Structure 1
């Protein structure tokens, strides 16, 4: 009887020990699960910023605009303070000297500092005949000459000079380099703006210039997808048509853009070009087939897509600019560029707002676009801080030294 009682006690002790071990074993996964949950709940600073924005602030980020003069006016201030535009593009008419340009970019940033999102301030600074910087600064060569020199160090350093010069002037975005292939000798709008007439030359030097600009902490914008090199019509005037098949485009025009995307392109500009064998109704800027299906899905581009200027003849002579801008955003673009005419800028902004209010563009889709834009601004650490006027002699010495070495 005594032994029987001792056996029962022993069994109870063993049961308690194993139950305790089991409880401890069960608690360990609980702690691991909590840790995993905490890791998953880490705050995304971009999303946090996005969630604090009003719908009007988000809509503003989808539009880049131009301005009329060499200093801010009431219309420009309204675009910043009331419409929260995401940035500005400057042209020759906005620039007459280094000191004036720095004052202008500082003014834009100062007004925008009341808003939470910093400004894009961009120009078309390709070198050669497409140059916006003040006359005091030595220009870089046209792309064709860069391609003919065919030296990797030279091309990269040209990109660094382009980016560095712009940064010293308060500019943080360069609508360059051109990745169009000059495959049509009758094409005047591209011509010597292209690095060459083969995909190899354009890819090689376009990517080197792109990386040089990027390494100067200025955002490069490769253009004009899907390729403007084989057109007769100038899209500033009317709508160019390209009758190539998709297979033909893949063997030539798409190649430099694909290479740029695979090598970290941040922004792609879409050109106003009708590719009749892909979308016979809408130019690339308005085409879901070109932007979403090919650029996004097939070429795997997940960066920011910006349109060419929506006030160009290719759009205004064939479409309503407000409806076209909405269509472009629905097709997959993130930013519409509206360079001229205040009335058209307001029309575009109001058309987008109406489309959002009518759920023609969903708020989720707006958030995806704005997230990409905010992520880009954060990547380049954009700030609305003012800068000092640079020493022009120092700026030019760097350019002169490079050109003297390669151009006799």
Structure 2
């Protein structure tokens, strides 16, 4: 039995009015709006075209009813303009994400770099990680970002790992917990949704999920004493979102479902035993799960796209990161919903988790009162003297032998 979200409990802690907005909104949705809410689109500031689709930014929001947005590059004025445009066009406010793992430079080209995970750990000073999170939150929210797809809470057990070698905050669970806690403490000085990654854990191997299925080879006990400790720590602390990687955890998957054969092992993004059974039930994660980017071969090699698009939601992921072909992917998700691959209960649970985060940020109230869009004056924080001094301090402290 899949575990359903409780919006009164952490990480949501919603009041009766917020929950009423969530449930009234879902009750008023068409099937097209429900399906659209599951998707995050990738936008390019200064360009209306994406992946060969001839839709303007406004059409993508209005026609496909997307639930979230991420964007690539450009300077702060262009980014803020794009995000204001998207929020203006959206009937339901969007979750807008950036990848700020080392400072505001992850949100905009003119943002302030503070420190990578490796640099924070090398400094031996949690204030460096705190400042990286603090600056990330301040500079991202000035643009209109309300969700941060960082930090990586992976453990660099294999120095040859190319994905998280400088993004990881340590080679053991204690270091990762120590520095990522500090980063998130800094991040949450701003009003922004936290998202940790890459469930169930990268850093043990040297494969690249962009090119092949990732595999975390740890035994159940080894995983529990490392990645399990890290994730339990952040879930206890109230992290709101977890990004599922295209990473398998075969030993644990077989322990949870003894009928699985090697050829049945799927990445976490398509594995109900890892999302529903381990993360949402055993670890009691009551927040939202999002897939990692859906163009990576760790996912695309598993099966046909028309199958894995809806199966990711059926497996327990709540949002799907990035379209390939926007019309085709929407159709694949709709077909999965109509054919019962995504049950009514699973759809409603996913929507409650998504809209619950929007309600936690009171995006609907800001939209109603006209305060959702950002003003150019807010951009003054980007690259400000205080942030540049934090970057210089991190550089001095990070030089170690």
TM-score range, shorter chain: 0.7 to 0.9
The residue number in structure 1 matching 2:385 is: 397
Report the counterpart of residue 67 of structure 1 in structure 2: 43
Q: Is the 8 A contact 1:62 1:335 kept in 2?
A: yes
How far apart are 1:79 and its partner, in Å?
A: 2.5
- For residue 379 of structure 1, report the CA deviation from its aligned partner: 0.7
Post-superposition shift, 1:177?
A: 0.6
Partner SS, residue 44 of structure 1: helix
Is the Cα–Cα contact under 8 Å of residues 45 and 82 in structure 2 kept in the other structure? Answer: no
Partner residue of 1:322 out of 290, 303, 306: 306
Query: Per chain length, whose mean CA-contact separation is higher, i.e. which structure has more relative contact order (CA < 8 Å, sep 6+)?
Result: 2
In structure 1, C-alpha distance between the alignment counterparts of 2:197 and 2:165, rounded to whole Å: 14
How far did 1:131 drift?
4.6
State how far apart, in whole Å, the 1-side matches of 2:203 and 2:114 are: 22
Where 1:82 maps in the other structure, the secondary structure is helix
Q: Structure 1 residues 315 and 105, CA, compared in 2 at 3 Å: closer, same or farther?
A: same
Unaligned runs of 5+ in 2: 1-15, 50-54, 254-261, 397-401
Residue equivalent to 1:100: 78
Partner of 1:132: 106
Query: Does the C-alpha gap of structure 1 residues 251 and 43 become closer, same or farther in structure 2, counting only changes over 3 Å?
Result: closer
Equivalent of 1:387 in 347, 366, 374? 374
Which whole-Å deviations, capped at 9, do the CAs of 1:107-154 have from their partners, x for residues lacking one? 111221xx1x100111111117x9533333321211111122233344
One of 181, 202, 211 as aligned partner of 2:176:
202
From 305, 317, 332, the counterpart of 1:333: 317
- C-alpha distance in 1, partners of 2:80/2:17? 42
Cα RMSD of the aligned pairs, angstroms, is: 2.3
Which residue of structure 2 aligns with residue 302 of structure 1?
286
1:347 aligns with 328
User: How far apart in 2 are the matches of 1:265 and 1:218?
Assistant: 11
1:358-390: per-residue Cα shift (whole Å, max 9, x none)?
Answer: 222222221111011111111112245321224
TM-score (normalised: structure 2):
0.84
Write out the 4+ residue segments of structure 1 that deviate beyond 6 Å after TM superposition: 40-43
Three-state SS of the structure 2 residue aligned to 1:268 is strand
- Whether the 8 Å CA contact 2:67–2:95 is kept in 1: the answer is yes
Instruction: Say which of 81, 99, 102 aligns to 2:62.
Output: 81
Q: Is the 8 A contact 1:199 1:252 kept in 2?
A: yes
1:123 aligned residue (82, 94, 98): 98
Q: Which is richer in helix?
A: 1
Does the Cα contact within 8 Å between 1:67 and 1:90 map onto a contact in 2? yes
Q: CA deviation at 1:68?
A: 4.5
Higher alpha-carbon Rg: 1
Pair 1:155–1:318, CA change in 2 (3 A)? same
Deviations along 1:48-86, one digit per CA (max 9) or x if unpaired, are 222122222121111111135524452533321121010
Partner of 1:166: 140
Q: 1:188 aligns with which of 155, 162, 165?
A: 162
- The alpha-carbon distance between structure 1 residues 294 and 103, as it changes in their structure 2 partners (threshold 3 A), is same
Instruction: Provide the residue aligned with 2:359 in structure 1.
Output: 378
The 2-side partners of 1:320 and 1:223 are apart by: 25
1:274 aligns with 2:252: no
Distance 1:81 1:317 in 2: 31
